[in-house]
Amino acid sequence: MLEKIKETSDYLKKLMPSAPATGIILGTGLGNLVTQLTDTTEISYETIPNFPVSTVEGHSGKLIFGKLGGVDVLAMQGRFHYYEGYTMQQVTFPVRVMYELGIRTLLVSNASGGMNPDFEIGDLMIITDHINLFPEHPLRGKNYKELGTRFPDMSEPYSKELIAKAKAIAAKNNIKVVEGVYVGTTGPTFETPAEYRYFHIIGGDAVGMSTVPEVIVANHAGIRVFGMSIITDLGVPGKIVEVTHEEVQEIGNKAQPLMTKIMTELVAGN
Ligand code: HPA
């Protein structure tokens, strides 16, 4: 594992035009932010040693070095999901590589189903915390102390400072944001009505099939995290309708520019 991380980061170090301190993982169909990047160097996942290859529709799968609002960033367009069959180590491998490349702040985005009755479709939710319901933990197995401690603290999985900054940016720009707890599950099924109800009862405001593994590994590595969910459908009693991947992408598309705006200013203000 340590050798693989080194091999991959050595490969990328030769190609990277700058040394970004901020990484961004863009979720399902959420590539809008990429259109705001300048001075880009794109590296397709297929060409990166040890990188898994993304298979889901709507994920183009590339690493992009560039400037966002003038600040150097490293963006991942398309992520690896557990439901695709990857191991947790594969799902989180890019975060390990990011750390090795110097990334110390990570912004993550995703599409999710809202369970909080106050939420509306198209809302942007700042992730304040998460509940890990994946059946396998990304840190299970041998702990490499070079990568982090055996029993990582998770008392502030999402940086309070970045959450406060993001809320201020949203208020200044008149962008509606909600806040909440993200429940991470395997998928690939969307939830049954009883499952949405259950996830809400245990403390979740939104549910999705990603993010939690990467955020756990980022915390293990000492990377501070900021996360946002686009609420693409509602798992709220009385409001549950059929959900399709296409609809999730369509709603995601509409809300994206607002998320891009918040993330751009967040990066600039860092
Ligand atoms: N459940 C799980 N994942 C999702 C959902 C959902 O309702 N919407 C978008 N991703």
Taking 90 as the threshold, does the pLDDT of residue 220 lie above it?
Answer: yes
Band (pLDDT 50/70/90 cuts) for residue 28 is low
Looking at residue 240, its pLDDT comes to 79
Residue nearest to atom 6 of ligand 1 (CA): 113
Share of the chain above pLDDT 90, in %: 80
Binning pLDDT at 50, 70 and 90, where does residue 242 land?
Answer: confident
Checking if the pLDDT of 56 tops 60, the result is no
For residue 52, give the 3-state DSSP assignment. Answer: coil
β-strands 105-114, 206-208: how paired? antiparallel
Q: What CATH number should be reported for the domain holding residue 36? A: 3.40.50.1580
Best of 185, 190, 246, 250 to mutate for ligand 1, by most ligand atoms within 8 A of CB?
190
Distance CA 169, CA 165 (A): 6
Distance 241 CA to ligand 1 centre (A): 12
Answer whether 251 contacts ligand 1 (Cβ < 6 A).
Answer: no
Q: Kindly give the number of the ligand 1 atom that is closest to the alpha carbon of 191.
A: 1
Q: 58: pLDDT confidence band, cut at 50, 70 and 90?
A: very low
Candidate of 207, 211, 249 to mutate for ligand 1, largest count of ligand atoms within 8 Å of Cβ: 207
Q: How far is the CA of 246 from the centre of ligand 1 (A)?
A: 12
**C-beta of 204 in contact with ligand 1 (< 6 A):** no
What 3-state class would DSSP assign to 149? coil
Please tell me whether the overall predicted TM-score, pTM, comes out greater than 0.85 for this model.
yes
pLDDT at 251: 82
| Mean pLDDT value of segment 97-122 | 96
Confidence grade of residue 237 (pLDDT, cut at 50, 70, 90): confident
Nearest-atom number in ligand 1 for the CA of 243 is 7
The β-bridge relationship of strands 62-68 and 71-77 is antiparallel
Residue indicated by tokens 């590994």:
217
Q: How far is the CA of 77 from the centre of ligand 1 (A)?
A: 19
Q: What is the pLDDT of residues 146-189, one digit of tens each?
A: 999 999 999 999 999 999 999 999 999 999 999 999 999 999 99
To the nearest 10 degrees (0 to 180), the angle between helices 245-268 and 160-172 is: 100
d(CA 252, CA 221): 30
Q: Ligand 1 centre and the CA of 167: distance in Å? A: 24
Residues 6+ apart with CB under 8 A from 225: 105, 106, 107, 108, 157, 158, 159, 162, 215, 218, 219
Name the token pair of 168: 């201020």
Is residue 33 within 8 A of residue 253, CB to CB? The reply is no
Please state, as a whole number, how many other Cβ atoms lie within 10 Å of the Cβ of residue 133. 14
pLDDT of residue 246: 82
8-state DSSP, 136? S
Closest CA to 228 of 113, 93, 107, 133: 107
Taking CA atoms only, the protein residue closest to ligand 1 atom 3 is 208
| Spatial CA neighbour of 162 closest among 246, 266, 16, 26 | 266
As a dihedral over the C-alpha atoms of residue 39, residue 45, residue 49, residue 51, rounded to 10 degrees, the angle is: 130
Of the candidates 259, 32, 266, the residue with the CA atom closest to the CA atom of residue 124: 259
207 lines ligand 1 (CB under 6 A): yes
Bridge partners of residue 74, in order along the sequence: 23, 65
Residue with the larger pLDDT of the pair 200 and 243: 200
User: Do 48 and 8 meet the contact criterion of CB atoms below 8 Å apart?
Assistant: yes
Number of domains forming the structure of the chain:
1
Q: What is the pLDDT of residue 52?
A: 86
Q: Which domain holds residue 248?
A: 2-268
Residue 140 token pair: 């299970």
Better-scored residue on pLDDT, 52 or 145: 145
Check whether 60 has a pLDDT greater than 90: no
Contact 183, 114 (CB under 8 A): no
| CA 225/CA 216 separation, integer angstroms | 10
The mean per-residue pLDDT over the stretch 111-131 comes to: 96
Contact yes or no for 101/6 (Cβ under 8 A): no
Provide mean pLDDT across the span 97-116.
97
28 lines ligand 1 (CB under 6 A): no
What is the position in ligand 1's atom list of the atom closest to the CA of 190?
1
